[in-house]
Amino acid sequence: MTTISEPAPPQAAPIVTGRTIRLRHGKALLRHVGGTLGITLPVFFIATLITFLLGVVSGLDPAAGIAGDAASPETVARIRTDLGLDQPVVFQYLHWIGGVLRGDLGTSWFNGVPASELILQRLPISLSIAGVALLVGVVFGLGLGLVAGVRHGGRLDRAITLFAALVSSLPPFVVAFVLILIFSLWLGWLPSSGYVPFADDPIGWLAAVSIPAVALSVDVIADLARQLRTGLVVALSENYVTGAVVRGLSRRRILFVHVLRNASGPALTVLALKVPMLIGGAVVTEAIFNMPGMGKLAADSALRGDVPVVQGTLVVSILLILACNLCVNILLGVLQPAARRRS
């Protein structure tokens, strides 16, 4: 071999210390969190703008409703001015979103009750269903995905993949119908309708919530299982797995410390995308199980043209969804700093 008269240091840059690296990583993490927030805010405003425009485009006029059928055009015009409806749409939006940010969602055109009050009454029901569905979906979805991914190509994997493919073709109400048939009609274990608050009777709450939540979670289970399986199959074929094997690490350690972390990306991304489906899907389950949740409130209000309540439910849903997404995206950045750098 050659002798190098002036060997280059392995690093071109001047000597760095562990402290500088730690600082650099801290800054990168802050930038990631900042960047995620920087995307979330405009998304919030665009989503609420769409929500607001829905009311404008509907052509429903609260002034006419308030004034009554017999009112003169002048009265209607005066009420319109009072409500600010004669201003440009942008100003109306800014006025409305200002109220929203202060917690004022307006009052129902139908019964004059503040929309926030109506929503707050219904929120626990919807959150119960969506929350339990999310929990069930994550536990079983990740569990099945893990098994399928580790045993990929095997019989268990094929069974899980087939299950996922079948189940994702099912609309949630079909699953609900099958579950009602089995657990309510035949076995009589669970009620097929109604809701019991958790504070009143936790067991009753669980019984009431379980069928709708499971019905809703099936789709989450299928999608999470599929994504985690794909992620695992890809990650298991990566070189660092071979490297870890050659280093003499145990199978379990390789799977849970090294592979799972890098394989969870697609599953977590899909999980974030599933949250809007869960909150939206609660409408159907609430209808089937005759539960007075937020989705039912939105549907009923929409059908009778109660714009503030509809907008209120949508805004609350959007906030919940954005919060979940924010958490997942930050988590992804923490779990996979390399992926964070790429995006």
Partner 1 sequence: MIRQLLRYPSARAAFVILAVVAVLAVFGPFLAPHDPLAQDGSALLQPPGTRYWLGTDALGRDVFSRLLAGSTVSVLASLLSVSIGLVLGVVPGLLSVFLGRRFEWINLRVIDALMMLPFLVFAIAMTAMLGNGLVQAMFAVGILITPAFFRVTRAAALSIANAEYIEAARLMGASTSAILRRHVVAKVLPPVAVAAASMTGACLSIVASLTFLGIGVVPPDPTWGGLLATDLANLYDRPFGPVAPALLIVATVWALNALADALRDSGRKETAA
Partner 2 sequence: MKQAHSDLPADNVVTLDIRHRRPEPPAEPLLSVRNLHVVTAQGRELVRDVSFELAAGGTLGIVGESGSGKSLTCRAILDVLPPGLNVASGSIRFGDVDLSRLDAASWKDLRGKALSAVFQDPGSYLNPSIPVGRQLVEAIRATLRLGRTAARDRALELLRQVGFEDADAVYRQYPFELSGGMAQRVLIAIAICAGPRLLIADEATTALDVTVQAEVLDLIDRLRREQALTLILVSHDLAVVSQICEHVIVMRDGAIVDAGPTRSVLGNPQSAYTRSLIEDHAVHTIDSAPSRAAAVQSAPLLAVKGLHAGYGIRTVIQDVDLELAPGEILGLIGETGSGKTTLLRTILGLIPAASGTIELGGARIDRLKAGPLRELRRSGTLQYVFQDPLRSLDPDLTISASIAEGLHLRGDIGRAAVSEAVDDALKAVGLDPALAARLPRHLSGGQRQRAVIARALALAPRLLLLDEPVSALDAVNRLHVLKLLRSLAVEKHIAQVFISHDLGSVAGIADRVAVLYRGRIVETGLAAQILASPSHPYTRRLLDAAPRLSADRSERPAAFTAH
Chain residues that interact with partner 2, rule: CB under 8 A: 1-12, 15-18, 20-22, 25, 237-240, 242-251, 253, 257-258, 261-262, 335-339, 341
Q: Of 227 and 244, which CB lies nearer to partner 1 in the complex structure?
A: 227
- Determine whether 71 is exposed, middle or buried from the number of CB atoms within 10 Å of its CB (0-12, 13-18, 19+): middle
CA-based nearest residue to 139, from 58, 214, 32, 231: 214
Choosing among partner 1, partner 2, none, which partner's interface includes residue 169 (Cβ < 5 to 8 Å by kind)?
Answer: partner 1
How near is the Cβ of 36 to partner 2 at its closest, in Å?
18
Query: Which residues 5-64 are close enough to bind partner 1 by CB under 8 A?
Result: 39, 42-44, 46-47, 50-51, 54-55, 57-58, 60
CA of residue 276 relative to chain centroid, distance: 5
Q: Residue 315 in contact with residue 100, Cβ under 8 Å?
A: yes
What is the maximal distance between C-alpha atoms in the chain? Answer: 102
CA distance to 28, 110, 163, per residue, from 172 (Å):
41, 31, 15
By the 8 A CB rule, do 222 and 140 touch? no
- Applying CB under 8 A, among 180, 228, 268, 270 the residue interacting with partner 1 is 180
Helix spans in 151-201 (H): 155-167, 172-179
User: 63: how many CB neighbours lie within 10 A of its CB?
Assistant: 18
Q: With binding defined as CB under 8 A, does residue 336 bind partner 1?
A: no
> x/- binding map, residues 149-168, to partner 1, per CB under 8 A?
----------------xx-x
3-state helix, strand, coil split of the chain in percent (to 5) is 75, 0, 25
Size of the site for partner 1 (CB under 8 A): 51
Q: Shortest Cβ distance from residue 146 to partner 1 (Å)?
A: 22
What are the residues binding partner 1 (CB under 8 A)?
A: 39, 42-44, 46-47, 50-51, 54-55, 57-58, 60, 165-166, 168-174, 177, 180-181, 185, 273, 276-277, 279-281, 283-284, 287-288, 295, 298-299, 302-303, 305, 307, 310, 313-314, 317-318, 321-322, 325
